[in-house]
Every structure is written in C-alpha cells, then in structure tokens.
Amino acid sequence: MNTATQLFDDAEKGSSLWHDAWLRLRKNKLALFGGSVLLFMMSLRCSRRGSLPTATRQNLDLGASPPSAAHWLGTDIFGRDVLTQSCTGSYFARRGLHCHRGALLIGVTWGAVAGYVGGRVDAVMMRLVDILYALPFMIFIVLLMVVFGRNICSCFWPLARWNGSPWPGSCAPRCNRYGSRSLSRRRCFVGLSRGDYP
C-alpha cells in the first residue's frame, strides 16, 4: 500500500517549464560559457566604473601586450587596456538598451491611446507620427546636439520618443494602434463584458 502511494505521488510530480529550460541549458556547455562571460562583463562594468575615464589613456612604450595581472585582456597597439575599453563599450551599449526600452514604452502607449480613442484624436496622433517619419534621422540628431549639447543623459527621452514613434524599423505605434482598434468596441466579447447583450 505504501509503495503504491509513493509511486502515485512520484507520478503526480511534474516539472515546470523553467525547470525543463534549465535542464536543457545545463546540457549546452557553450551557452553556459557564453552566459558566464556575459555576467562577468556586466559585473566588471559595475565594479570598474572608476577606471572608465582611463579607457583612452595611451602607453606607447607598452604597445600590444598579452594578458597579464595588470591588464587582464591585454593591451592594443597603442597600449590601451582592452578590458577598460570593453567596460566603456558596455556602458554605452546599456544606454542604447534604455533608449529602446523607453521607445517601446512610449510607442506602445501612443498607439494604444490612438487606436482606443479613435476619431479626431487618432487622426491627429497618427499625423504627428507621419510627420516624424518624414524627418531624416540625422537632422534630428544634429538638432538634439544643438539643444542638449554632448550630454547623452539629457538626450535619453527625446531619442526614446523618436524611436517610439517615427524611426524606420520601430513600428510600435502603428502596430499597437491596429491591435487596439480591432479589440476596442468591435469584438463581441468586449460588448458582453460591458453587459451589452444582443
């Protein structure tokens, strides 16, 4: 009786999707190595923040040298530390990630509001998107540099707004507008949820 109950309990136990994904990932040694390198670079970006201004410091006497205790990834032909340059690059790559995250937030919200409200509000909002699509991207960057200077932090929200609505390749407002228009007030389950029975 106890053996049957134990077998039944073992049969009832299942594994989650996360557990299955972890088991498959654990078998892939190359993916584990790549993930560990990525985590290592992210931790270095956080821990070596104070050494970021020295990424362009040259030491021509040192030249291109192999990895050592002073320079973990070696130096390039100008004697610059490759690890510090990688940390600097990851810092600016993270800024780009934040811009696209803000672009997604702004673009999805803009398209959802335009599609749900409809009417003149939708027409005006989509015409603004069309105007921004027509502007060349390089002119917008030059205008940002004139207004904000070289401070990349102050350019974050304008770049996110630009990426959220007009930039070719980021069609979040239009796609979300069509999705919200097809859902709002037209599907039968929306009317049933409001109590509008036929």
Distance (Å, whole) CA 84 – CA 44: 9
Q: What percent of the chain clears pLDDT 90, i.e. is strictly above it? A: 4
Tell whether the model's pLDDT for residue 50 goes beyond 60. no
Tell whether the model's pLDDT for residue 167 goes beyond 50. no
Tell whether the model's pLDDT for residue 2 goes beyond 70. no
In the DSSP assignment, the letter for residue 78 is T
Distance (Å, whole) CA 109 – CA 131: 18
Tell whether the model's pLDDT for residue 187 goes beyond 70. no
pLDDT at residue 133 in the model: 74
Q: How confident is the model at residue 33 (pLDDT cuts 50, 70, 90)?
A: very high
Please measure the distance between the N-terminal and C-terminal CA atoms of the chain and give it in whole angstroms.
57
pLDDT at residue 130 in the model: 80
Q: How confident is the model at residue 27 (pLDDT cuts 50, 70, 90)?
A: very high
pLDDT tens figures, 76-91:
888 888 877 877 777 7
pLDDT at residue 4 in the model: 56
SS3 call for 1: coil
pLDDT tens figures, 110-162:
888 888 888 898 888 888 888 777 777 677 777 777 777 766 666 655 665 55
Distance (Å, whole) CA 112 – CA 118: 10
pLDDT at residue 185 in the model: 57
Tell whether the model's pLDDT for residue 108 goes beyond 70. yes
SS3 call for 130: helix
